Amino acid sequence: MSTGAAQADSATNGLARRPFAWTFTTPLYVGSSLNPINSSIIATALVPIAAELHVSVGATAVLVSSLYLASAVAQPTAGKLAEVLGPRRIFLYGVVLVLLGGLVGGLGQNLAMLTVARVLVGIGTSAAFPCAMVLIRRRAEEAGLDAPPGGVLGGIAIAGMATAAVGPPIGGLLVGAAGWRWAFLINIPVTAIATAMALRWLPKDPVPDHGHSGFRKVADRIDLPGILGFAGSMTALVIFLMSLPHVEWIALVVFVLAAVPTVMWELRKTSPFFDFRGLAANGALARTYLRQALTLLGVYSVMYGMTQWMEAAHGFSTVGAGLLLLPMGAVSALLSRPLARRNLVRGPLIASAVTMLLGSVGIMLLTSHSPAIAIVLVSLIFGITSASTTVGNQTALYLAAPPDQIGTASGLFRTFGYLGTITSAVIGSIVFRDGVSDHGLHTLGIVLVAAGLAVLLLTALDRRLMNRDPNRQADTPDTSQNPKSPHQGESSVSTPTHPTITPERTALLAMDFQNGIVPLAPDADALVERVKGAIADVRAAGGTIGYVRVAFTENDWAAVPETNKAFTAVAAGKMLHHEDTATQIDERIAPEHGDIVVRKIRFGSASTTDLHQQLTDRGIDTLVLAGISTSGVVLSTLMDAADRDYRVYVLSDGIADPDPRTHQVLVDNVFPSRAHVIDTPGLRGLLGSA
């Protein structure tokens, strides 16, 4: 073995043993904490800023809203850029913007400069989370992990939601000790550390293909018109929400005028920035977004609404109010990682809804004479809410989002969270419009009870979640650091977690089920019946069916070169003529109108046909393979489809080979590294949960 090959093999083995070493995860955790900390740390600096700049406290609210607005737009945009241009590259660009924002804010002399600084910080910090999810997903696939890396997602959860909860107390201490400018300047040392770690430890992105690196090429790949339309729509929507209870009609009109053409554009795009069709078909992902928005409405109502109440109605100082909420962040941090390690989804989400209800009832019982311990108790309950919702929804996101869209999906996940956060501020301004009082706090509690009930219903009635936890694959330290290699006999048929199937973007390929080949398969009749059932399931779900048959014309025989070992004999024997009965598709699974049907003259389904183009024209990015034989058409098609970046499923009971040993070796040892191996009942389950 050459030195280069040995080094490559060593690197591969090292990745398999420790795919998520601390050197890989630490910069992701640090980067992911920047946005939530900056979102909340400013709360304790607003009053000192107003006093020094001689503006009203109300005017400083723009420093909160500007970061939320920038983040709501930038999160999915950064995710899309990470998918196209590379996550490490976008991560570093974002860190530089945060550094610049820290400098501008720390040196700012007026409210306009501070607002610019907050926008820079909002855009820059928005890159970290979606980039982290792209890097984690790619690393998991490289290591052969189908189940979510729970321990790593738990770390991201702590860096995300838990750090937001400790932002106010940290801000109170920092501003009290060093002044409000340190709410900005703190970003400078943190970003310097994050930059050094990212450059040193994060894997480099592939060198951009010069054929796809021009501005027009990149703009088309990221769907720049879609991003701009989304940005305009989201900006108008956020301005409208933040103007409530006063109705900002201009913002509402701008939202409609921007949103309608944007939706029409995205529906026509083959690879849109905001995949409305995919989201409509992917119910699990849509429900995850909605749960996140509703639950964060509750968590941030406590962080901001109760903070105002404690200071204005109960008489606590800024530092004291921050310290009373510290238990929420501490509990969230302590619970996030243990919960995430087990890859639980439904359990944490049920706990999130129940504790949100309990905490909301607790808010309704508080008064300005309540002891501090009662406030701490409510804070502790919402700490459980914070941890369980972040872990449950983040794992649900990882499982439901298409792997090639995990960056954009993660950004939208955060955007929906921001919508919940912004709505919490709107609700707070409404309930306290006549002054901060116990009555306003109790009204806030009633609103949160309603939101908690909605979250509970969204979780308890979700069929997909009902089947998730019992079949989970726990991410213990052993499995996360030492995943079984597909070459060591691991069969992914037993792997319980697979990415969600979106039927409208999925095609089942029935390959070489023709009269002259079907009889060669073991137990052929039962095989055909299973594939017939799978075809019916995909049709019923709205998916596409494709048929591939191998057959030759006279010209095809003449064109087979003597170098082709397998098909020289076919040509010489004038076998598999395209009009022969032997090359016609088995009538039990005959094609219907609208199905794809192609004729091939080699093993693979795409190399000698226009199958790939037909699939692309229909927006198909997921293939389910059934065929005869496992070592022929299935193997060749799988390899080609994986190289073309399709998401591939292989039906273990929908394929067969004349040699059972070869079939089993391929299914157990080869296919799992490139495809998700499931059976026909598993396919039915994935289609039913979409």
The mean pLDDT of 319-342, rounded to a whole number, is 76
pLDDT at 163: 59
Beta partners for residue 551, in sequence order: none
User: Is the pLDDT reported for residue 472 higher than 80?
Assistant: no
* pLDDT tens figures, 365-421: 998 889 989 988 998 999 899 888 888 888 888 888 877 788 888 888 988 888 888
Amino acid found at 562: E
User: Is the pLDDT reported for residue 154 higher than 80?
Assistant: no
User: Is the pLDDT reported for residue 477 higher than 70?
Assistant: no
Amino acid found at 247: V
Element (H, E) at 672: none
Q: Is residue 549 classed as helix, strand or coil in its secondary structure?
A: strand
The mean pLDDT of 213-235, rounded to a whole number, is 83
- Say how many Å lie between the first and final Cα of the chain, rounded: 47
Between residues 686 and 640, the one the model is more confident about: 640
Q: How confident is the model at residue 453 (pLDDT cuts 50, 70, 90)?
A: very high
- What is the layout of strands, in order, in the sheet containing 596-600? 596-600, 544-550, 506-511, 622-628, 647-656, 676-678
Of 446, 438, 587, nearest in space to 513 by CA: 587
Cis peptide before 629 (omega within 30 of 0): yes
Beta partners for residue 548, in sequence order: 511, 598
Give the percent of the chain with pLDDT over 70.
88
User: Is the pLDDT reported for residue 429 higher than 90?
Assistant: no
Rounded alpha-carbon distances, angstroms, from residue 652 to 123, 382, 493, 502, 663: 46, 45, 7, 20, 9
Distance separating alpha carbons of residues 22 and 551, to the nearest angstrom: 54
Q: How confident is the model at residue 167 (pLDDT cuts 50, 70, 90)?
A: low
Beta partners for residue 507, in sequence order: 544, 623
Sign of the Cα pseudo-torsion (338, 291, 408, 679, in order): positive
The mean pLDDT of 610-631, rounded to a whole number, is 93
pLDDT at 208: 64
Q: Which of 32-36, 551-555, 579-583, 664-668 has the lowest mean pLDDT?
A: 32-36
Q: Is there a contact between 623 and 617 (Cβ–Cβ < 8 Å)?
A: no
User: Is the pLDDT reported for residue 197 higher than 50?
Assistant: yes
pLDDT at 45: 81
Q: How confident is the model at residue 623 (pLDDT cuts 50, 70, 90)?
A: very high
Q: Judge residue 245's burial from the number of C-beta atoms within 10 Å of its C-beta, 0-12 exposed, 13-18 middle, 19 or more buried.
A: exposed
Between residues 95 and 431, the one the model is more confident about: 95
Q: What is the DSSP letter of 282?
A: -
* pLDDT tens figures, 243-265: 777 788 898 999 999 999 999 98
* pLDDT tens figures, 527-574: 999 999 999 999 988 999 999 999 999 999 999 998 998 888 888 889
The phi, psi pair for 689, rounded to 5°, reads -90, -5
Of 645, 382, 604, nearest in space to 509 by CA: 604
Q: Which of 132-146, 157-171, 292-306 has the highest mean pLDDT?
A: 292-306
Distance separating alpha carbons of residues 286 and 265, to the nearest angstrom: 20
* pLDDT tens figures, 660-681: 889 989 998 899 888 999 988 8
